[in-house]
Structure 1
């Protein structure tokens, strides 16, 4: 245990000698850009066009749905959505009880409202998520199983209410497709393993196969996302609780003006990321709770060649007043980050779990490439986590590539951390080090392990105490 009230000292880790340099500038030596930066965050929030839905309700019972029964409500919900869309927009209401359903596809100007006391319970028969749709899976475009709730190319759409969306994934259903893994608690089912299809999809991406000719639905065992809005504008997800997801929970792709508000993501299966905006612009995530089997929030912009081909960054993202519990990371950038990330803001969030592996995490490699820059974090309270700040250029493929990653212009300030195993875990490349990171006005309580810092010469500490 390190002495409590002393300025943070950084330890060299690894026989290769990794700590290249560390500057400890006097406070005030460099003019802080805080005011302008956070003014930009306010401008991003103000620029988001909120969803506006006409005040017309289309109650699913009026279209044949029967709650609290074995009746399949899929057709009734689809008919209600079609009627609302044809009328110029409105709310499709699931009022009370449990509704059994398969894939739901939203249309422009329609809000799916799952009221408090209502549950959408999704069937687990994979054939009910066919025909295949155009989707993005781990940053790669393809034709795959429909996400449980899906929209493509729509405008002004929402999922709201105080109800529950239950994907019904578990150790016997959906999750076994992950296959063998060090964190496995799910069953292994012979012949049902995503790895062959995942490898084939990556080969298709490398070979430049037309994305619409990449067919990875039936027989491929690539799990669908829970909610995916693809190439949509004016998107809102508010108030609902998502549980038992097959794969990533919230996955807007190539969307603009996205609001995720007051949502609870609680699912502990493999790859159960909470909210993963990918290649999106102008995004607000606020007042949410994340308790997940993978990253809580992971910002992405495409994987390897696909990310560079599409070439759209994730940018102008504001995360505020959120709570992170279990997860691989609290706020994460990567690893599918080949299109880059910029103007990322996080403030007034709390993180607290012995099973939260990292509070702030940047993961990339020399296959991904991409530029991650202008990330601002302030007023975050880490009550308990395993590591506070992680930058890892050695994720998955590591140095085995020709596209060097860039992480630079990262500012974390007014950070309070009660208990972590380690503060810094920074690993760049000798020939391509981690860029500028500043930690300002941070206070650490219990720290159990020495820092690991490899090839991160531009780390600046100002008023950092533990």
Structure 2
């Protein structure tokens, strides 16, 4: 019922007796107040449920459907003896499958050695239970070079172990294992760290002809076709990369011993990563890194990694600004994060921005897990992060922080520039943490652009050494939130 306050005031002015004023005005004002409260409550109830957006993303990401046609790799000459290289047999089966209109390329039980596998449209590569695919340790097997990326910068480099470019409707599914065979004798030493097999005098990725040259090419807008690395260089290949692909599913398989990032959808749309196990502790062994991607669902997965479990990215520095495709509409749910630098991370390659990220019903717990939720950038990367929603998160322990937002991130030197990042609307709800590490909240914004609109609702963090360390952050709202049993205000 609408109440006309002006009518009440007019009636009040037309009657002058004190008795009438008390008898007429007070009940009506009380009624008006109650009516306004009811209308405000109805208005609040009418606000859209933000998690309906997550449901809409899930509904919009359709599972690829493949023809009921089977192509067994053994029929194309593959031998499961753990010795014979089956690169040609695998790729013949994939080509035949795609040429016939699609279907499933079956890898039956056994151990298969192969070089890179290049997927084509309408092909589902199915790794059977009891099957293990061992990727060759010979770097020359990953030639010729292909259009790929390294730490957010596009280039020509060794082929990813599994690769697709411009394909539609593709899958890697099954219950078997994909073993990159990277270790301290191959691939890993190129990172330059002693613990990964690098010895003094050996070349590594930080040498002048590697990353420094690629960084200059990035800033100079060198055409990708001229950014040639590969032989004579030490930039490791990705494990599984889809470049400019649509409708991709990765389901059920196990990835282990990756040279570099594990699952990397790049400039791809409509991605499902479901029930996957990543058990890989090498250098930069991120579990899943969607970059320049839209409509992504990562669910029911186990991540036990040498770097970030999930890292959402959008290009590094000039490359990100050139491509200018934000990563957006990403749902992470029902996942388990064990070891890793961060559970769900945004950045640091983030120059095109990230928005609309939903994380729910995940468990994170390991003495080697450094942060639960992390956002990292700097003024060379710039970019933006907005609309991040985390709900129903259970954390056993983390080393450093439950939520870390850092706009001064930088492993290498000279990580400052003119691109001020903006970070806003970060929400944590129904989060419980047994051992909060050094900080419950660790936020380092910038004076020119503070981190804004952080909300913690029904969050409980126990056993943190410090409740928080916050610099340049505005509008932090605590609702029923306790850190070390203290109600935050």
TM-score by length of 1: 0.91
Match of 1:433 among 426, 436, 450: 450
Deviations 1:311-342, CA, capped at 9 Å, x for gaps: 00100000000000000000000000111111
Q: 450-459 vs 376-385, which deviates more?
A: 450-459
Shift of 1:189: 6.2
Aligned to 2:11: none
- Indicate conservation of the 8 Å contact 1:365/1:398, yes or no: no
Aligned to 2:172: 159
Shift of 1:360: 0.2
Distance 1:31 1:223, change over 3 A: farther
Distance 1:233 1:448, change over 3 A: same
TM-score by length of 2: 0.87
How many aligned residue pairs are there? 436
Shift of 1:399: 6.7
Task: Return the index of the structure with the highest Cα Rg.
Answer: 2
Q: Secondary structure at the match of 2:163?
A: strand
Aligned to 2:235: 222
Shift of 1:95: 0.7
Gaps in structure 2 of 5+ consecutive residues: 1-40
RMSD of aligned residue pairs (Cα, Å) = 1.6
Mapped to 1, the partners of 2:255 and 2:349 lie a distance apart of 23
Aligned to 1:294: 307
Aligned to 1:400: 416
Shift of 1:124: 1.1
Shift of 1:35: 4.7
Aligned to 2:150: 137
Match of 2:276 among 255, 258, 263: 263
- Indicate conservation of the 8 Å contact 2:188/2:196, yes or no: no
| Structure that is richer in helix per residue | 2
Match of 2:203 among 192, 195, 206: 192
Higher RCO (Cα < 8 Å, 6 or more apart):
1
Q: Secondary structure at the match of 1:448?
A: strand
Aligned to 1:14: none
Distance 1:417 1:390, change over 3 A: same
Mapped to 1, the partners of 2:45 and 2:215 lie a distance apart of 43
Match of 2:353 among 340, 346, 351: 340
Q: 426-435 vs 132-141, which deviates more?
A: 426-435
Matches within 5 A, 1:441-456: 441-456=458-473
Matches within 5 A, 1:204-283: 204-283=217-296
Mapped to 2, the partners of 1:315 and 1:360 lie a distance apart of 17
Mapped to 1, the partners of 2:202 and 2:183 lie a distance apart of 18
Mapped to 1, the partners of 2:384 and 2:176 lie a distance apart of 39
Gaps in structure 1 of 5+ consecutive residues: 1-27
Aligned to 2:86: 73
